[in-house]
Every structure is written in C-alpha cells, then in structure tokens.
C-alpha cells in the first residue's frame, strides 16, 4: 500500500490517489451507466489500497452515495475507508438551488449518513456557496456536527478566495475542492498560497481537463458532448493545447509512463495538494490511476511542465 498522507490539518490519512465517484451511479452526469460496473469500480479501488472515496448528493442525485454505502457494507471496509461527500443542492419545483443555511446543511448531512449507511462522514463539503448565508455561519454549523461526531473534517467547494477567507475566519476549514489543472491555473494566484498558509488541503477536480490532458486526442478528434462548447477544445486553441500535450508525451515516454500519470504526479508536487481524486468508469481505470505513484519527477521535470503550461 502507498504511504499514507495527511489531509491538511485534519486527522484523516489516505493514499495520495483517491477515487472520484461521479461515474458511480451518477446517472444525471453520464447516461447509460451500469450500476454493477460502478460498484466494481469501488470494489477494485478498495482491493488495491485506495482508501479515500469522494462522492456527493448531486451525483445521481443520491445514487452514488447509496452505491458507495452498499459496497462498503458488503466489503466490511467502512472503518478503513475515508468517505468524503458534499451537499448544498436543493430542489425547488423543477429548479436546483444552493442552500448553505445551518438547518439545511444539518439535514443534508443526516441524509448522506443514511444513504452511506454510516454513523459518521469523514469529510463533508459545502458543495457550492449560496448567495445569502454568511460563510462562517455555514461552516459553524458543520463545526457543531463535527463536535457531535457526525463528521470528522470540514470542506468547502467552489468557493472564491473571498468566500474561503470568510468561511475560514475561525480556522475550521480543513479542505477546499475546486477546479484546477495545467490549463486552468488561476488558483495559483491567491487560493493555493492561502490554503498553504492556513494548512488547508487543496483537492483539484477536473485534473485531466475533460480528458485533454490524457493524451488520447488529436487534431481530427471531434466532440458531440459538452466539450464541443469548451474553449479548450475549439479551433486554434485546441491545436495549441494538443501541441502542449505532445511536449508532455516526450516526458512521459522518457519515464515509461502515460501522459495522465505524469500530469497527476505534477499536481502532487504542489505544496497545498495532498491527495487527488481521479474518476473512473471502469475497474481497470482505477488500477491505471494508481500508476501515478510510480512516476518520479525531478525538479527539472516539474519546472519544464510548469513552463509548457505557463498561464
């Protein structure tokens, strides 16, 4: 098993490669998902030493948490596993709104506990900020739940730097999860320095930029999903981005590694990043993700990659 790493200032210790489970029961995100395959993805992760699972109410909705809970119960591995989940989405009529009010967050945690079939959640995130609730008040509600033993660590997700500062005014925030990858490095300006200074762990999502940093696309590749509207995948920008990925390919070839593993290894060299949560739709992808830990980047490699993707 990989050496365990501490998540920020929390008392959570995990394999640096976790598993994002939005493709486990996330029927509202990916069409035609097999739930049995999703459960196999989780089983494979546990069997290969991955002990950090990241889910959320909105994946499904609710179904991802239920399937993760089912597998942990079947495998009798709840105590060995660190579960992260998120809440804030609320359905009002046919609309989804965000609610960070203390009453709603407490209700969200109770709902997640039930679906996950557990009496505590290791890391609970406010998934998105709302427009009304003072952030310190929302985090204060989670601190109450932490004191009650319902959660072990407090996270916020998709918070701006100002929202993060407000949320952390009492020093209660353990983790920030936000979008960050080699093409989208805005977090380096203020957010990463702040998280490092306050010993808040930063967990990036979309680390492979919708597959672009996986090295599997070329100039003739076309997309008929959300990527077709993503600026990274359009016209000349797409061609320039592919050229950058080709430079990564050289580094990967030297190391006998895949491009994706080199990219993920680079993130783990960032001061505030303790753990990554790449997703997987198939069990074999879980095993592949773990190969990241075999990639050794020199200081020169790290600087070269940083230069290639200079914002």
Q: Which residues are the active-site residues?
A: 59
Task: Catalogue the long-range contacts made by 103-110 (C-beta closer than 8 Å, 24 or more residues apart).
Answer: 105/138, 105/141, 105/142, 105/145, 106/141, 106/144, 106/145, 108/57, 109/142, 109/145, 109/150, 109/151, 110/150
In DSSP terms, 213 is beta-bridged to: none
The answer to whether 241 and 183 are in contact (CB under 8 A) is yes
The answer to whether 69 and 53 are in contact (CB under 8 A) is no
Q: How many CA atoms lie within 13 A of 109 on its CB side?
A: 30
Pairing status of strand 89-92 against strand 95-98? antiparallel
């Amino acid at each position: 098993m990989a050496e365990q790493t501490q998540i920020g200032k929390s008392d959570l210790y995990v394999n640096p490669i976790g598993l994002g489970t939005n493709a486990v029961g996330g029927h509202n995100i990916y069409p035609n998902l097999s739930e049995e395959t999703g459960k196999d993805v989780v089983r494979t992760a546990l069997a290969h030493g991955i002990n950090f699972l990241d889910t959320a109410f909105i994946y499904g909705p609710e179904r991802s948490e239920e399937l993760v809970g089912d597998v942990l119960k079947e495998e009798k591995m709840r105590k060995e596993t660190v579960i992260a989940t998120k809440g804030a989405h609320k359905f009002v009529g046919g609309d989804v709104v965000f609610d960070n009010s203390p009453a709603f967050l407490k209700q969200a945690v109770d709902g997640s506990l039930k679906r996950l079939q557990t009496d505590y959640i290791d890391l609970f995130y406010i998934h998105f900020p709302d427009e009304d609730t003072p952030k310190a008040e929302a985090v204060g509600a989670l601190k109450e739940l932490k004191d009650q033993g319902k959660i072990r660590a407090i996270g916020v997700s998709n918070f701006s730097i100002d929202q993060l500062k407000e949320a952390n005014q009492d020093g209660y925030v353990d983790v920030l999860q936000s979008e960050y990858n080699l093409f989208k490095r805005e977090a380096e300006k203020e957010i990463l320095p702040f998280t490092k200074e306050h010993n808040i762990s930063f967990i990036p999502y979309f680390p492979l930029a919708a597959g672009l940093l996986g090295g599997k696309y070329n100039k003739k590749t076309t997309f008929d999903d959300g990527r077709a509207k993503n600026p990274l995948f359009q016209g000349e920008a797409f061609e320039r981005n592919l050229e950058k990925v080709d430079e990564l390919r050289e580094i990967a070839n030297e190391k006998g590694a895949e491009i994706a593993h080199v990219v993920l290894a680079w993130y783990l060299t960032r001061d505030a990043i303790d753990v990554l949560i790449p997703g997987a739709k198939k069990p074999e992808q879980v095993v592949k993700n773990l190969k990241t830990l075999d990639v050794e980047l020199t200081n020169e490699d790290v600087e070269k990659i940083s230069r290639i993707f200079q914002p």
